[in-house]
Amino acid sequence: MDVSVKNNQKMLKRRNIIIIVISLACCVALAMFYATAYRSHILWQEQNQIFLNTSHWIATYFSKPAWLGCLSGDWLTQYFHNPAAGAVILTLVIAYCTVCFAIGVRRMFPVTATSVLSCLFAILLIACSMTASTTMSFFMCVAGGLTLGLARVQIRYGKKHGLDISPLLVIPAYWSFGFGALISAAFMIAFSSKRALQDRGDRSLWLSALCAAVFAAATPAALCGFYALPYAKGLLYPGISEPSFPDFEHEERLAIADAFFSGNHERAKQLALNAASPNDISAFYYYLSSALQDSLPDNLLKYEVKSLGTLTTIGDKTPLPVINMMNDLYYELGDMTYAERAAMMRNVFSPRNRNVRMIRRLAEINLVSGDTLAALKYLRILGRTHAYAEWSREHMPGKAYAEVESEIARRRALSNSKDNIRLGDNCRNILLELLESNPKNIVALDYLLCTDLLLKDMDTFKMDYDTYCMSKGSPRYKDLYQEALMIYLAGTEASQEEWDRYVVPGPLFESFRRYSSRRGDPAFRGTYWYYFDKQ
Amino acid sequence: MKIKYILPAVLAGLLAACAPSPENVGESEALPPIYPDYVGVTVPQNIAPLNFLLRDSCEALYVTAAAGGYEIKSHKKGCEAVFDLLEWKKLMEKGAGKGITVTVTALIGDDWIKYKPFEVGVSDDKIDSYLTYRLIEPDYEVFSRLQIVERNIEDFSERVICDYNTVGNRCMNCHTHAPGDGDLSFLYVRGEGGGMVLNDHGKIRLLDFKTPDMVSGSVYAQFDPTGRYIVFSTNAIIPAFHSRPEKRLEVFDTKSDVYVYDLKQDKVLRSPLLADSTRLETFPTFSSNGDAIYYCVANGPVRPSAIDSVHYSLCRIGFDPKLGKLGAKTDTIVSGIPGRSVSHPRVSPDGKRLLYTVSDFGTFPIWHREADLQMIDLGSGKIDTLQVVNSEMSDTYHSWSSTGRWFVFASKRDDGLYGKPYFAHVSADGKVSKPFLLPQKSPSFYDDNLKSFNVPDLGPAAVSFMPRDVASAISEGK
């Protein structure tokens, strides 16, 4: 063999090894990124859907196009319950798509162009994965479309003239992978066009390209009536993801909400405190975690954003994270009616109108409210999932673990025992009802009093404090409430007897005397007096 | 033998070969804990196979169903009994007018247990073959991705007749057949530019008969027997929530009136007796020969804090279909009293009986656990409380089969949340049998399902329109 040919082969081999090593390194880096910096996004994918291991559930995927893309995507997503596994799965699928793309493009373009195009394609897919609404179904449809397109390219590669029926592949491609058929068709058109330009005498290649284009456009048109889809939606089913830059703010919010949902209130608080961009969601979970640790009054003025959620209403235009927040708030307060309403609402706006986190929450809500039949309904559904079957068994009425029973009993004691008709989600009324049912519901009490104080409604605060603390013989001695009471008493020129009744003598009272002569002094930042006057 | 028969036989054989066969079978005196509960029910002979599952953790199930010397079986691993459609049809023919005997033998742990066999009555009376319903989450306050579906209840085929994808994810509801005519019907698509969509044997058009003095567009409506008139109510509806979690939702009207629309003359017929501003008139329906309108009425105004004092009575007003004139006086058929508020009256096609819902108060029985069906004999005035039909949960949204021998209703008896279509047989002398749940191909369907079957309605034939026809009517406003 010629020496130069041998050298060429060596160089090619070396180049290939370098490409493989770089690609592997990129994959590892990408998986690490997903597993660490984008962990909550990965988990959110799993929490925002449900996959049931039943034949009936699987059969439902055939009612729309892209059944294989959606089925495989949802099936894989259930393993995102472990974010590390999710990170690996997502990386492998993106890598697979890129490899398919590269092999196909290599049949048409030289190495350098193939490398550049493949890199751009990989970047595009990674950018799509950064969008919170992107699902694995999208990636599986891309992968399926690429696979069928590549199969056609490989089959026809090197073949000369003759009847080419491969454009017919676009039809099963649409059935199985929805918009993935467009990718298959694009591959076919590009490949046939390239060959036709090379071999000018072969008109069948142009015909082949034309057929692929026609099938890609006509198949959704022919089937949109059957699938009850408008043409534009049917053509791009199950939906195209938009590329975006990593959204670390959203990741931060998801991480806080996840920590709270998993019961790690201290972590939720710390994440909220360390948030690079504090917002309503981080504030909400900071306060709710504090309330569950009996420290809402202690922390109310420590977070720069004030959002208790008690002034928030939800409807069909409400962002999903806010509906989640309201579900968490009412569940922790003990109002199972509105916790269930928010959970139902969140389900309705999820893919296929259900998500596993809210199914689990609905089971919990009905266990607490003693609606065993409804709880069983949700527990049976969870029993058919990969990740929650064990949780379902642990919560089965009559067979539940002792700690589960005790937690249900604790929450049941907080819930509403009286019936009223509510025309809207006026949280104040709900808090009052909860306190009427159980005056020892400290979380509800703190939310009521703290809402009054954030609104600077001192008369209402005093009335609520009297009703639920003084008249019950259990004054709540928290600095925040003491400071607020001092404002009220000073403002109403209360008698000494009143002062003695409400205020505990001590350093706080002395501090108030000093503040009274220096109102608005930033040295008193952090007190309710300063908040009342200045913020 | 044709391939279509060979293939299922081979597959069934393979499945049976995989499942262990009963041996050393022990007998139990207990009835099998099956879901849906088909023990002792009466079914029409044209019903789809009654597939069911055993609510026990079993390894395999061996089920036989026999009638007139003919026997079919389901032998599978797992807890589900699924029958072959063709064999089932033959079994129904053999059992028509008598019944079938079902024997369940289950492998539980290492032991085969044979439960006490149970009977299923098979009536000669056929039921209308098509059932339409809206699929919606039970929280009516919000919705997304609604569909109205038509199911052939002789097998398991179903098709969507109105779909969220084609009408812009809007609210839709209440597909209602004309009496005895499967392809004359209407449904509602709500929201701007929406309204009542009329299906006149495949010709779809949007009806707009709202006038400025009406409190809303039409809400509850029914055809007359000729299909010429539609009686409807307009309602100012307020959704609310109970603070007690098990009571969940309350919906009430602050205003409501009743009118008749003449499709032939495109004219609304009115009577001050049906649009009294001091009263709430709603839930209108025609009598079986169209000479009267039954409706419900309560005294207004309604205060949310006193909703439990609102009780609707069942009333009747005469109607002359030839002249298109409403009567000059009304009669009270059933008085609304505390603990008995009447809603959703439906007259049987033979005109002998009227089926309605009673609840403690108000106008939205689907969320009232105590809501039950009752049936009044219009000749004698005798009320049947239908104890064999009703449950501890809401039973309402009923409609008659065109033969008058069956009715369907939505019941929340299984979980208190999700309405499911149950059917009950009414014999010629008015005796009602234990109802049964609409069978599904997969017995675990209802366990996984998170949608209510809202306002089920029976029709003798399939409607001939498609979702895109509804979309066209809405987009063109015609």
pLDDT tens figures, B93-151: 999 999 999 999 999 999 999 999 999 999 999 999 999 999 999 876 789 999 999 99
pLDDT > 70: percent of chain A: 98
Q: Phi/psi class of residue A397: alpha, beta or left (left: φ > 0; alpha: ψ in -120 to 50)?
A: beta
Same domain, A229 and A111: yes
Q: How confident is the model at residue B6, as a pLDDT?
A: 52
Same domain, A269 and A337: yes
Distance to chain A for B71, nearest Cα, Å = 27
3-state secondary structure A418-469: CCCEECCCCHHHHHHHHHHHCCCCHHHHHHHHHHHHHCCCHHHHHHHHHHHH
| Mutation for testing the B interface, residue in A348, A362, A412 having most B CBs under 10 Å | A348
pLDDT tens figures, A143-175: 999 999 998 877 766 665 566 777 888 999 999
Last residue of a domain, one of B81, B103, B123: B123
Which domain CATH number covers A375? 1.25.40
Same domain, B152 and B212: yes
At residue A53, what is the residue type?
A: N
Q: How confident is the model at residue A194, as a pLDDT?
A: 85
B152-157 LR contacts (CB < 8 Å, sep 24+): B152/B462, B153/B46, B153/B47, B153/B48, B153/B127, B153/B129, B153/B438, B153/B439, B154/B46, B154/B47, B154/B48, B154/B129, B155/B48, B155/B85, B156/B48, B156/B85, B156/B439, B156/B440, B156/B441
Count CB neighbours of A245 within 10 A: 8
Domain carrying residue A481: 439-534
Q: How many domains does chain B contain in total?
A: 2
Q: How many domains does chain A contain in total?
A: 3
Same domain, B214 and B312: yes
Model confidence at B1: pLDDT above 80 = no
Q: Please indicate whether, in this complex, the C-beta atoms of B165 and A381 are within 8 angstroms of each other.
A: no
* Percent composition of chain B: helix, strand, coil (DSSP 3-state, to 5): 10, 45, 45
Average pLDDT, stretch B253-261? 97
Same domain, A322 and A450: no
Same domain, A97 and A28: yes
Q: How confident is the model at residue A527, as a pLDDT?
A: 95
Same domain, B91 and B172: no
Average pLDDT, chain B: 93
List the structure tokens of A234: 């049917």
Q: How confident is the model at residue B94, as a pLDDT?
A: 96
Domain carrying residue B277: 130-476
Model confidence at B9: pLDDT above 70 = no
Q: How confident is the model at residue A399, as a pLDDT?
A: 87
B2-16, B356-370, B409-423: which range is least confident on average? Answer: B2-16
Is B380 in CB contact (< 8 Å) with chain A? no
Which domain CATH number covers B72? 2.60.40.10
Average pLDDT, stretch B276-295? 97
Angstrom distance (rounded) from CA A365 to CA B243 = 14
Instruction: Give the nearest partner residue to B245 out of A349, A369, A420, using CB atoms.
Output: A369
β-pairing, B267-269 with B249-262?
Answer: antiparallel
User: Which residues of chain A does B441 touch, with a Cβ-Cβ cutoff of 8 Å?
Assistant: 56
Model confidence at A368: pLDDT above 80 = yes
Last residue of a domain, one of B123, B154, B170: B123
Domain-located, residue A39: yes
Same domain, B163 and B195: yes
Same domain, A124 and A194: yes
Domain-located, residue A428: no
Average pLDDT, chain A: 92
Q: Please indicate whether, in this complex, the C-beta atoms of B142 and A348 are within 8 angstroms of each other.
A: yes
Angle made by CA atoms A336, A342, A347, in degrees to the nearest 5:
120
Residue B377 — very low, low, confident or very high, per pLDDT cuts 50/70/90?
Answer: very high
Model confidence at B226: pLDDT above 50 = yes
Same domain, A266 and A228: no
Nearest to A150 by CA among A123, A198, A175, A118: A118
**Distance (Å) of CA A427 to CA A150, A239, A436:** 58, 38, 14
Same domain, A222 and A258: no
Same domain, A174 and A100: yes
Same domain, A59 and A156: yes
Domain-located, residue A390: yes
Q: How confident is the model at residue B4, as a pLDDT?
A: 46
User: Which residues of chain B does A340 touch, with a Cβ-Cβ cutoff of 8 Å?
Assistant: 245, 248
Is B15 in CB contact (< 8 Å) with chain A? no
Tokens 């509510």 belong to residue: A422
Domain-located, residue A423: no
Same domain, A209 and A351: no
Last residue of a domain, one of A202, A235, A268: A235
Is B144 in CB contact (< 8 Å) with chain A? yes
Instruction: Give the nearest partner residue to B448 out of A337, A381, A430, using CB atoms.
Output: A381
Angstrom distance (rounded) from CA B241 to CA A427 = 13
pLDDT > 90: percent of chain A: 78
Angstrom distance (rounded) from CA A67 to CA A418 = 48
Instruction: Tell me which DSSP letter residue A470 carries.
Output: I
Same domain, B297 and B424: yes
With CA atoms as reference, the chain B residue closest to A224 would be: B468
Angstrom distance (rounded) from CA A261 to CA A508 = 36
Q: Please indicate whether, in this complex, the C-beta atoms of B241 and A341 are within 8 angstroms of each other.
A: yes
Residue B11 — very low, low, confident or very high, per pLDDT cuts 50/70/90?
Answer: low
- The answer to whether the CB of A334 falls within 8 A of the CB of A434 is yes
Instruction: Give the nearest partner residue to A421 out of B139, B242, B415, using CB atoms.
Output: B242
Distance to chain A for B472, nearest Cα, Å = 11
Domain-located, residue A183: yes
Same domain, B87 and B45: yes
Q: How confident is the model at residue B2, as a pLDDT?
A: 45
Domain-located, residue A3: no
Q: Please indicate whether, in this complex, the C-beta atoms of B246 and A376 are within 8 angstroms of each other.
A: no
Angstrom distance (rounded) from CA A515 to CA A506 = 15
Instruction: Give the nearest partner residue to A341 out of B139, B144, B304, using CB atoms.
Output: B139
Last residue of a domain, one of B74, B107, B123: B123
- The answer to whether the CB of A325 falls within 8 A of the CB of A284 is yes
Domain-located, residue A116: yes
Same domain, B39 and B139: no
**3-state secondary structure at position A220:** helix
List the structure tokens of A36: 């660490």
Instruction: Give the nearest partner residue to A348 out of B144, B147, B305, using CB atoms.
Output: B144
Same domain, B96 and B226: no
Which domain CATH number covers B264? 2.120.10.30
* Percent composition of chain A: helix, strand, coil (DSSP 3-state, to 5): 70, 0, 30
Same domain, A310 and A354: yes
Model confidence at A76: pLDDT above 90 = yes
Same domain, B192 and B72: no
Is B411 in CB contact (< 8 Å) with chain A? no
Q: How many CA atoms lie within 13 A of A50 on its CB side?
A: 27
Same domain, A262 and A195: no
Same domain, B426 and B293: yes
Model confidence at B5: pLDDT above 50 = no
pLDDT tens figures, A193-217: 888 888 776 777 888 889 999 999 9
Q: How confident is the model at residue A355, as a pLDDT?
A: 93
3-state secondary structure A383-420: CCCCCCHHHHHHHCCCCCCHHHHHHHHHHHHHCCCCCC
